Chain A
Amino acid sequence: MKPTRDPRVTLDDLVEVLLNKGAVLHLDLIVSVADIPLIGVSLRAAIAGMETMLEYGMLRRWDEDTRAWAERSTGHRDLEPRAGERHIVHMRGGHLLEDGFQTTWRPGTVHLTDRRLVVMRREPREVLWETELAAVRTVRPETERSVGGEQRTRLRVVLADGREALLSCTEPERLRALLASTCPGPLETSPADPERQDGEAGDGGPAVLEGHLWYHEPRRDGPLWRGGQGRLTPEALVWKSPLDARPALVLPSDDITAVRTEPGRSPAGGGRVITVETASQGPVTLTADEPGRWAGALDSLRTAVPLPSA
């Protein structure tokens, strides 16, 4: 400790005294109008050094938990190899926890050795999921749409006892190939299944164009630009926001009478918007990073529809 200028008091001394003694604030407050209580405030606050807190029996449990957790997490943070085990690859990834109570992605690192496949988290240290390679029966890539509307490839791993796990990683194809060459038993591994992708994406056949699309949605308090995922099939244009449960806009292609791009304020920043004239819904305004591409695709669908007179 450095010498202090006695008998003067310093800020550090003041803080020390405060923390050593501890301070407690209890506040009960009711705000009432015409003797009718309307708002209640009940405040309980305490500040003290941890040693003082423990003396008074406060936060004891938390103190123990924190220290026990630190005990576990420091020391060996990486995967401990077994005797003779060879490490092949590790990459950032995660494991989808589905315990019937919650479904969450838990991030960590995917380790592949010549005997095990392990998803591990370093801080706090926990093995999120682990299997012997001998038990792996199937490794299948699955595509999934993330909340942001992007395609992500996950790996579905099926074990001999029927248990399944869904893993994410930075290089799913590489991990799949490595698994295929490392697993000792017969491994069923198929590349991405196009049929399955279509089934997931919804009805309407293969998409002509798919991507991020802005929709100028009419609302009671005026129209509003909303970002979402547009999917154009020969049958219809479907627009859905990642926040909505169902598509907010469905334009059957035989309903579209005209498509044009015009200058306008666009959230995509291009300064051009797409106006789609429809027979039943009136004009619909859309925009995208490449409005010309969407307008062209929409227009080609419109002309593809045979005219009643032809």
Chain B
Amino acid sequence: MAITVDEKSLKQGVLSLVVTLVEVIQEALERQALRRMNGGDLTEEELERLGDALLELDEAVEEIKSDHGITDSVADLHRGLDEVVDDVVDKLVNPARWAEEARR
């Protein structure tokens, strides 16, 4: 389950790693924002401001990705991380897998 950053230069690899992490945080922020919006605690004005700010953040990240031509590598890396998580969670919730691994 090694993650390979398939890029020519190290610089781009590092940048895609950073952007991927930013994307993960952004995703977390968006989901929490959704929860807060559904919570009914925020005023109309706050809802609007929050929505605008998140949209701006999304646009900024997209722009950075296309600027540096790392859209694909970020998507790859994101998928890679998801696979790692899937693997780990799968093992945690299914102790039977431990035995499988031990047999191999």
A residues contacting B by CB (< 8 A) are 1, 8-16, 19-20, 49-51, 54, 67, 70-71, 74
Complex CA–CA separation, A67 to B36 (angstroms)? 13
Contact A8 B86 (CB under 8 A): yes
Contact B36 A15 (CB under 8 A): no
Contact A49 B81 (CB under 8 A): no
Find chain B residues with CB under 8 A from A51 CB: 32, 35-36, 39, 41
CB-contact partner of B90 in A9, A16, A19, A71, under 8 A:
A9
Contact A12 B24 (CB under 8 A): yes
Q: How many residues does chain B have at the interface if contact means C-beta atoms less than 8 Å apart?
A: 21
Find chain B residues with CB under 8 A from A10 CB: 82, 85-86
CB distance from A125 to the nearest CB of B (A): 16
12 contacting pairs across A/B (C-beta < 8 A): A8-B86, A9-B82, A9-B85, A9-B89, A11-B24, A11-B82, A11-B84, A12-B82, A13-B85, A14-B85, A20-B35, A51-B39
Contact B39 A11 (CB under 8 A): no
Contact B32 A67 (CB under 8 A): no
- What is the chain B residue whose CB lies nearest that of A10? B82
CB-contact partner of B49 in A16, A49, A74, under 8 A:
A74
Across the A-B interface, the 7 shortest Cβ-Cβ residue pairs: A10-B82, A49-B32, A12-B27, A51-B35, A11-B85, A15-B28, A9-B89
Given the known A-B contacts A9-B85, A10-B86, A50-B36, are A19 and B49 also in contact in the complex, defined by CB atoms under 8 Å? no
Interface presence of B97 (CB below 8 A): no
Contact B82 A49 (CB under 8 A): no
Contact A19 B32 (CB under 8 A): yes
